[in-house]
Amino acid sequence: MKRIKPWLQKGSLKVKWSVGASIAIFLTFLIFGFLQYTLISRWLLHEEASSVAQVLDDLDSRVQNMDDLLSNRLLFQQVLEKDQSIRILDKSGKSVLVVRSEHSSNAKVPFVPVHSKVVSLMETKNEKILIGRTSFHSQSFNGYIEVIYPLYRYERLMRNVLFVMLVAGGIGLLLSALLGFIMAKNFLKPLQKLASTMQSIRKKGFQERMEPSQSKDEMGELTNIFNEMMDQIERSFNQQKRFVEDASHELRTPVQVMEGHLNLLNRWGKNDPVVLEESLQASLQELSRMKKLVEELLDLSRAEEMKIMKNDTGTDLIHVVERIIRNFKMIHEHFDFHFKYEKKEDYLVQISENHLEQILIIIVDNAIKYSDQITKVDIRLEKDANDAALIIKDYGIGIPEVDLPHIFHRFYRVDKARSREKGGNGLGLAIAKQLVEGYGGTIHASSKVGEGTEITIKLPLYKSGLIKN
């Protein structure tokens, strides 16, 4: 057993499957064969016992007295079957007459007095014997009749049955091993392809995929799940790579600016108040940009790792929008905010109130930043059976059509110089998109240069107590 265990651990799955299938099929055949052998044995013994009982009945019906017993040897020969013998015993068990057939047994059979017909099995070292006994009564003789039947034919037949079963079992074992190997080879083919694809991924990169499976079984499902998982991993890897590159690029500029001003101070600014003031202000401005960039990166990271918490009421869109408008109105008094919604409707949505505020602040702040001529922002609410729509429209400079598909990407800025002047890092809309989609919603932008931009946010209406935090 200790030797088998390491072999099973080291052996291939194909071999293990083949061996396991072979053993399972062979054990099933063994149990079935054992039951079949036992049933055949019992049935044959019953038939042989019935044959012995039939001989006793024939003798009892044809023999009436002692004279019949002693004179009808020919009758006994007719009644006897092959291998059987008959003994006539007196009341004390002494043999009065013995009639033997060809190949009858020479085994010593003990005397057993009986009162009625009895058939019993006696086993010796070399053979099995059926013994039929019955009592005999007449005017001239009282005694017993015995029919002795050695089970040569039964044993010969059972040996043949056992031989056939062993041969069939051996053939079945070989066939089951072959069948198990073929089945294992076919069943494990997708796993081998999966292993090969993984090796290829390790060497070539995340772009490798398994061939899409058309089968509807578990292996086909595993193939499709693996490809979907690799798509997600590749996207995550590419996003992370792009994120690191973009973050490095964004941080490089303020670091270089600060380094330049510090060098300037080191050379000439120590005794020049103008240079000192200018360099300090520029350095503080770049530090502020770096701080804001780090905060936005943290916000984006949190948005990607939202957890679910219980909420029993949902979030009221009207209440949150009105509060955001009041806050911005205090800062930007010259801006007009128009809020429109159906007053008879309620707008409870499936989102955390804090996250909804964060999204609105990002969108409304952008609308204000890029509205130079017309200082007006329209906000309206719409609703259908499943979602509530929040539409925020400004009348600012707009976004070129070529840039629209990219504005929700990390660090993407339509005009880098303009965004830097406005204090933007290109992360706000990416954070908003991550938050909205985290709750099963959608965010979409439409814009025309010189006419303004419209942002549409759709959020699922509140139906259960699950809110993400």
Rounded to whole angstroms, the Cα distance separating 192 from 448 reads 54
Q: Does residue 412 lie in a domain region?
A: yes
> What is the number of structural domains in the chain?
3
Q: Are residues 71 and 169 in the same domain?
A: yes
Q: Is 82 exposed, middle or buried (0-12, 13-18, 19+ CB in 10 A)?
A: exposed
d(CA 350, CA 313): 9
Give the tokens for residue 7. Answer: 């072999």
Instruction: Please indicate, yes or no, if residue 194 is contained in any of the structural domains.
Output: no
Please, which residues have CB within 8 angstroms of residue 375's CB and are 6 or more apart in sequence? 332, 334, 335, 336
Grouping H, G, I as helix, E, B as strand and the rest as coil, residue 249 is helix
Please enumerate in sequence order all residues whose Cβ is within 8 A of that of 142, keeping only pairs 6 or more positions apart, or say none: 90, 91, 135, 136
d(C-alpha 130, C-alpha 266), whole Å: 122
Going from the C-alpha of 27 to that of each of 175, 325, 448, the distances in angstroms are: 14, 79, 77
**Quick one: how far is CA 65 from the chain centroid?**
84
CATH code at position 16: 3.30.450
Note whether residue 442 is domain-resident: yes
Please, which residues have CB within 8 angstroms of residue 120's CB and are 6 or more apart in sequence?
A: 130, 131, 133
Find all residues with CB under 8 Å of 360, minimum gap 6, and list them. Answer: 320, 321, 324, 390, 392
* Burial status of residue 34 (CB atoms within 10 A of its CB: 0-12, 13-18, 19 or more): exposed
Contact 392, 367 (CB under 8 A): yes
Domain of residue 283 covers 218-287
User: What is residue 269's DSSP assignment?
Assistant: I
Return d(Cα 461, Cα 345) in angstroms, integer: 12
In this prediction, residue 307 carries a pLDDT of 54
Would you say the C-alpha torsion 48, 52, 57, 63 has a positive or negative sign?
A: positive
The CATH number for 363's domain is 3.30.565.10
pLDDT of residue 417: 47
Same domain, 283 and 310: no
Same domain? For 464 and 378 the reply is: yes
Contact assessment for residue 386 and residue 460, using Cβ atoms and an 8 Å cutoff: yes
- DSSP letter at 206 equals T
468 and 351 in contact (C-beta within 8 Å)? yes
In angstroms, rounded to a whole number, what is the distance separating the alpha carbons of residues 175 and 179?
Answer: 6
Please tell me the distance from the alpha carbon of residue 392 to that of residue 283, in angstroms, as a whole number: 36
| This prediction's pTM | 0.47
Strand 95-100 with 85-90, pairing: antiparallel
Q: What is the pLDDT along the chain (469 residues), one digit of tens a residue?
A: 455 555 555 556 777 777 777 788 778 888 888 899 999 999 998 988 888 888 888 777 766 555 555 556 666 666 566 777 888 888 888 887 777 776 676 777 788 888 888 888 888 877 888 888 888 777 667 888 888 888 888 888 889 998 988 888 888 888 877 887 787 777 777 777 878 888 887 787 777 777 776 767 777 787 788 888 888 888 778 767 766 776 676 677 678 778 887 887 777 766 777 777 887 887 887 788 778 777 766 766 666 655 545 455 689 999 999 999 998 988 888 999 999 998 878 899 998 888 898 899 889 999 998 888 889 999 999 999 899 999 999 999 999 988 888 888 877 777 654 555 555 667 788 888 988 998 889 999 999 998 999 999 999 998 765 445 4
The one-letter code for the residue type at 234 is E
Which residues have C-beta within 8 Å of that of residue 7, sequence separation ≥ 6? none
Tell me whether residue 242 is in a domain. yes
Q: How far apart are CA 469 and CA 467, in angstroms?
A: 7
What's the pLDDT at 92? 82
277 and 380 housed in the same domain: no
Helix or strand run (H / E) with residue 340: strand 336-340
Question: Looking at the structure, do residues 122 and 259 belong to the same domain, yes or no?
Answer: no
165 and 22, same structural domain? yes
For 208, 254, 257, the CA distances from 423, given in Å and listed in that order, are: 41, 12, 15
Q: Which amino acid is at 356?
A: L
Let me know whether 142 and 252 are in one domain: no
| Tokens representing residue 438 in the block | 């985290």
The last residue of a domain, from among 226, 256, 287: 287
Say whether both 318 and 278 belong to one domain.
no
